[in-house]
Amino acid sequence: MIKTSFPPVVDRNTVVLVLGSLPGDRSLAVQRYYAHPQNQFWALMSGVVGTDLRALDYDARLGTLLSCGVGLWDVVGTASRVGSSDAAIRDVSANDLAALVQSLSSLRAIGFNGGTALAIGRRQLGVLADTLAIVALPSSSPLHTVGIAAKQPAWDQLATWLHRTRPPETPTRS
């Protein structure tokens, strides 16, 4: 079955671009990024942007990401795939990642959500990969069964490039 990714969610203020491989069946059915309830993407990104994205509706989630300088897209434009596993992706037609990257003048870093996105995306970027910070992220997919606590530190690296201030820590008393 041929599956097609969504348009990019970016604007002129995108500083960090998070790239997945290809939306899973649940996401495709509802036309929303990371729609599977067990996908950890929204929880992981909540830590990065300092807002509980899971508590927001979908449009507010996307708006919050954009307001924090985070964009989303996928490295695969179309492919054949049975089910939602990246291992089943065949006959890849890539998105024009290089053109998107060149159009984002504020872009400083790309986070690849999982090994498949990293492998395909790095090939697409070519020499452009040398001009940006590249962050290999453990997949947020429920098929990648490492717990969220083990994944979060890698995802938190994305905050390095974002223009946000963390609330001051409350001093503890001994």
Q: What is the DSSP letter of 159?
A: G
- Say how far apart CA 88 and CA 86 lie, in whole Å: 5
Q: Spell out the long-range contacts of 82-90 with Cβ–Cβ below 8 A and sequence spacing 24 or more.
A: 82/1, 83/25, 84/24, 84/25, 84/26, 84/36, 84/141, 84/143, 85/143, 86/21, 86/22, 86/114, 86/115, 86/116, 86/139, 86/141, 86/143, 87/116, 89/21, 89/22, 89/116
Choose the catalytic residue: 13, 39, 95, 113.
39
Contacts of 43 (CB under 8 A, 6+ apart): 53, 54, 148
39 is catalytic: yes
| Active site residues per annotation | 39
